[in-house]
Structure 1
Amino acid sequence: MRIPLWIEASRLKVVVFGGGSVGTRRARLFASAGARVRVVAKEVSPDIRALGVEVKLVDLREYEPNEDIKWADIVVVAVNDVALAERLFTLAESMGKLVNDATNAARTHVVVPYFREVEGIKVATTSEGAAGTPARLSLDLIDECIRRSWIPTFFRAYAAAKEEAKRRISDVRRRLAFYRELADDGEFMDYVKRGDLDSALRRAHEILRRYV
């Protein structure tokens, strides 16, 4: 069973086998998030060169990749050769590595979703390889729904109140009680749903005073 997680990419070492379009996208994604990226391929795209990541030019059909796999936290398989992809996946899995297999979504360990941030909320979608375009386009619909709803006001008011509570309430249980009361407070939520941020913040301060 796969579960969604947000991982601090700057702590990761990622080896990408394959220098084509998919390998380029994966290398760009991980490198842009601060991961150490190594691309191993016979040829790589100019875009990979421009990323400034480590590049090893080798023929993967003859190369022994054990050291590269051992070095990595995540192994990306993005090669066109089915037999080669099978060999790389099997080897990485036998070494206990998490694999993002762009050649076979059914066996991949790490799913790379489509994602974006909408009004402070990070949203990700995936079909796990079944239908990528609908998953990607669904982000547009989710984006529109969030922006047109009361969620942005709720986010701003709640986040501000939570930040103040963390500064002023040392007891964790009292803070949690405040968060619950805030979300359940009808007056606060009425202001939120009307888009009245100032009144929502004022009401949040009134509730907070009872916990300080």
Structure 2
Amino acid sequence: MKNERKFVPLMIDLSNRNIIIFGGGKVGERKAVLFSECSRTTVISSDFTDVLTEMGKRNKVNLIEMELSYLQDTEIKKLLSSAFLVITATSDHKLNLRIANIAKGLDILVNEVDDAGDVVVPSVIKHGELIIGISTSGSSPAVSKYTRHQIEKLITPEYADMIRIQQSIREYLKQNVPEQMKRKDILWQILESRDIWTQLSDSYEKAYDQALKIAEDHISSGKHINE
């Protein structure tokens, strides 16, 4: 019986990390598209999808063409020498397991397509700085995908613009409102304004101007918004 896994959701800066993906098929492609946006990503395979080939031409990923099934353990270890995370995504289950075991022996994190592994890559919703990860700890990718589709009906692209507004107004308030709690209340009022959310679907500038007016009105009145 396998040990009970205890996953913790984390946000990790991968900008200077090496991600090694074994397998150039559709699964490897999907992983490469995700990780290439935030890390140095290498895909190792005997062949690659058209998307991966194009990504290689644009230097989005590093492609290493080789036949994996004949590699010795020492050769695999050499390929893993600089890896922060290894992803096993070949069509050969035994090969995936062998690579995973070697990586774990080197204390390298592993994401396995055939098992949960050390790292589960969640289903992701991203709107600007807003990132939502959905996972069933590897138990049901279908449920993760279904949940993402449901959340996407509620979390619209306007959330990215609201974050931009909040960032800008927050900096403005830091310079004009010394009380942290009052700044918090003003930002929350902006966040809950139906008018601003409605304007965001039409024009960021109009929504920002409305948010700024709310902040300026409270500053000029000198009154706490809850009074």
Q: TM-score range by the shorter chain?
A: 0.7 to 0.9
Match of 1:56 in 2: 65
Secondary structure of 2:155's counterpart equals helix
- State, as a whole percentage, how many aligned pairs show the same letter: 22
> Is the contact between residue 154 and residue 192 of structure 1 (CA under 8 Å) also seen in structure 2?
no
The equivalences for 1:1-12 within 5 A come to 1-12=6-17
Aligned residues of 2:87 and 2:112 also touching (Cα < 8 A): yes
Kept in 2: contact 1:191–1:199 (CA 8 A)? no
Paired residues in the alignment total 199
Shift of 1:71: 1.4
SS at match of 2:68: coil
Match of 2:49 among 22, 37, 45: 45
**CA displacement at 1:29 relative to structure 2:** 2.1
User: Within 2, Cα distance between the matches of 1:38 and 1:190?
Assistant: 41
In the alignment, what sits opposite 2:172?
A: 164
Mark the CA change 1:68 to 1:179 in structure 2 (over 3 Å): closer, same or farther: farther
Q: Any idea what SS the aligned residue of 1:9 has?
A: coil
**Gap regions ≥5 residues in structure 1:** none
Any idea what the Cα deviations from partners look like across 1:135-194, whole Å, max 9, x if unmatched? 22322322222349x97886465333213235x27x9xx57434433356xxx3696145
| Aligned counterparts of 2:191 and 2:30: Cα–Cα separation in 1 | 44
Secondary structure at the counterpart of residue 31 of structure 2: helix
TM-score, normalising length: structure 1:
0.75
Letter in 2 for 1:94: G
- Judge conservation of contact 1:42–1:58 (CA < 8 Å) in 2: yes
- Quote the residue 1:17 is aligned against: 22
Q: TM-score, normalised by structure 2?
A: 0.70
Considering only aligned residues, what root-mean-square deviation do their CA atoms show, in Å? 3.3
Q: Which moved more, 1:85-94 or 1:125-134?
A: 125-134
- Per the alignment, residue 88 of structure 1 pairs with 99
Does the 8 A contact of 1:114 with 1:136 survive in 2?
Answer: yes
Q: How many Å separate the matches in 2 of 1:56 and 1:190?
A: 50
Aligned-pair distance for 1:34?
4.5
- Which residue of structure 2 lines up, in the alignment, with residue 67 of structure 1? 78
Q: What does residue 203 of structure 2 align with?
A: none
Instruction: Report the alpha carbon displacement of residue 95 of structure 1 after superposing the two structures with TM.
Output: 0.8
CA distance, structure 1, for counterparts of residue 170 and residue 118 of structure 2: 35
**Residue pair 2:169, 2:211 contacting (<8 A) in 1 also:** no
Structure 2 unaligned regions, length at least 5:
1-5, 57-61, 200-206, 223-227
Letter in 2 for 1:59: L
Distance 2:34 2:138 in 1: 18
Work out the CA distance in 2 between the residues paired with 1:122 and 1:59: 34
| Contact in 2 for aligned 1:178/1:207 (Cα 8 Å) | no
Residue of structure 2 in register with 1:126 after alignment: 135
Letter in structure 2 aligned against 1:180: K
1:112 aligned partner: 121
Q: Which amino acid aligns with 1:124?
A: G
